[in-house]
Amino acid sequence: MVKGSSAAWRLLAAAALFSLVAGCDGDGPNFRATLDNLWPNADGDAWTFELAMSAREGAGLVIYSSPSEVPPLPPPDELAAWLDGGPAGAPDDTGSGVMRLRFDGQVTTESGVTAQNLAEEYFAPIDGVLARRAAGAFPAFLRALAAARPDLRAKLRALPGGPPAPTAAPAANSAYFDEPLFLHGYAWEKTEDHIANYGDLNDEISWLYLTRGLDEGDGFDLQLVPDLADDIYLHGWIRERREIAVETGTYDDCVECLYAVDYGVTALVAEEGEAMGFCRPLSVGLIVYAAGVGPVYSRERHAIPGDFVLGGDSWQRINQASLIGFGGE
């Protein structure tokens, strides 16, 4: 977390009002990380995160002349290095805000699955005041998918709720805000085998956070939106245990999971219908989980084609969430 900015501290002070209980100092008893204690889920439990985000045009995707030339998804170490490295130079747009996740009863999806309701709330500075911001009508993943896979947009527009949000980069000097993809809410479930989400497209698991394999090198794969395509996957890998310091304290022996969404191979087509090449759009993220606390930090980076550069360019987004408050009723 960057310190020293008075604007950032005003944002933190305002965000603390949305936390149910002040965070601990990180000096409590040492927990052995288990699937159960890595994300407490009593009704009323809540987490408040400071968000920092940026967007830029240009670099990020390699364009190939044929689908067969597009390489497969890189291995985890390369993905982690890409996530940590970040693009060079100043971003074209930046933003900040607050996200609050809170377990609030149950919710039933459009597909008929009833699960815990992990409600999302967003707040962003407007004219110097932290104000509530409406979440997007579509989940962040489906909006990213609409940008990454133009061939699926007609199917996405036919889903309940209408068309996805515009996929172009924010206009210059606009109030930029970007919801995280890898850390989100909705219909949430924890079993002895997994922590997962359900969505509205069908009654199958739509997202995986963790599985019972919590040792370094363990991993999982989940086919996403099988009703729409057969080549879009979420991958997860457990990394080396780590210590992390955030606003609520310093936590030892945390579980870090690296994630990647492979959107498959995308054809880039100009307005005149001319094929411009092929690429593999990519979203990579990580979440750090502290035993007894839950998610305390996340970072994600996306390289997605943009409608505003139909010649085959791309836009990149980076989003970071850092815990500034947690608690429960």
User: 28: domain range?
Assistant: 6-327
Closest CA to 204 of 190, 222, 191, 217: 222
Element holding 222 (H helix, E strand): strand 219-223
- Residue 103: helix, strand or coil by DSSP? strand
Question: Which pLDDT belongs to residue 24?
Answer: 45
Residue pLDDT, tens place only, 168-208:
444 443 478 889 999 999 999 999 999 999 999 999 999 99
CA Rg value for the chain: 19
Question: Residue 134: pLDDT band by 50, 70, 90 thresholds?
Answer: confident
Alpha-carbon distance of 188 to 198, in angstroms, equals 7
Question: Which pLDDT belongs to residue 231?
Answer: 95
Closest CA to 127 of 15, 10, 3, 5: 10
Instruction: Tell the residue number behind the tokens 């960057």, with chain if given.
Output: 2
Share of the chain above pLDDT 90, in %: 59
Alpha-carbon distance of 42 to 26, in angstroms, equals 20
Residue pLDDT, tens place only, 280-327:
999 999 999 999 999 999 999 998 876 533 333 457 889 999 999 998
Question: Residue 119: pLDDT band by 50, 70, 90 thresholds?
Answer: very high
List of residues 6+ apart from 67 with CB closer than 8 A: 265, 267, 278
Closest CA to 98 of 326, 329, 323: 323
- The structure tokens listed for 12 are 């933190």
Q: Which amino acid is at 270?
A: A
- The structure tokens listed for 41 are 């889920």
Beta strands at 233-238 and 266-269: parallel, antiparallel or unpaired: unpaired
Alpha-carbon distance of 269 to 312, in angstroms, equals 8
Question: Which pLDDT belongs to residue 139?
Answer: 86
Rounded mean pLDDT of the chain?
A: 84
Residue pLDDT, tens place only, 276-290:
889 999 999 999 999
Instruction: Give 33 or 256, the one with higher predicted confidence.
Output: 256
The pLDDT of residue 33 is above 50: yes
Question: Residue 27: pLDDT band by 50, 70, 90 thresholds?
Answer: very low
Under a CB-based contact definition with an 8 Å cutoff, are residues 303 and 309 in contact? no
Under a CB-based contact definition with an 8 Å cutoff, are residues 272 and 170 in contact? no
Question: Which pLDDT belongs to residue 268?
Answer: 82
Beta strands at 194-198 and 219-223: parallel, antiparallel or unpaired: unpaired
Closest CA to 181 of 161, 157, 209: 209
One DSSP character per residue, 151-192 reads GGHHHHHTSTT-SPPP-SPPPTTS------SSS--EEEEE-S
Alpha-carbon distance of 143 to 166, in angstroms, equals 8
Alpha-carbon distance of 25 to 168, in angstroms, equals 42
Calculate mean pLDDT across residues 106-114. 95
Residue 1 lies in a domain: no
Question: Which pLDDT belongs to residue 306?
Answer: 63
The pLDDT of residue 151 is above 80: yes
Alpha-carbon distance of 124 to 98, in angstroms, equals 6
Expressed in angstroms, the distance from the first to the final Cα of the chain is 27
Calculate mean pLDDT across residues 34-50. 96
The pLDDT of residue 47 is above 70: yes
Instruction: Tell the residue number behind the tokens 């579509």, with chain if given.
Output: 138
Residue 95 lies in a domain: yes
For the chain, how many structural domains are there in total?
1
Residue 163 lies in a domain: yes
Question: Which pLDDT belongs to residue 135?
Answer: 74
The pLDDT of residue 19 is above 50: no
Question: Which pLDDT belongs to residue 59?
Answer: 54
Element holding 78 (H helix, E strand): helix 76-85
List of residues 6+ apart from 75 with CB closer than 8 A: none
Residue 285 lies in a domain: yes
Question: Which pLDDT belongs to residue 161?
Answer: 53
CA quadruple 144, 148, 150, 152: dihedral positive or negative? negative
- The structure tokens listed for 167 are 């996929």
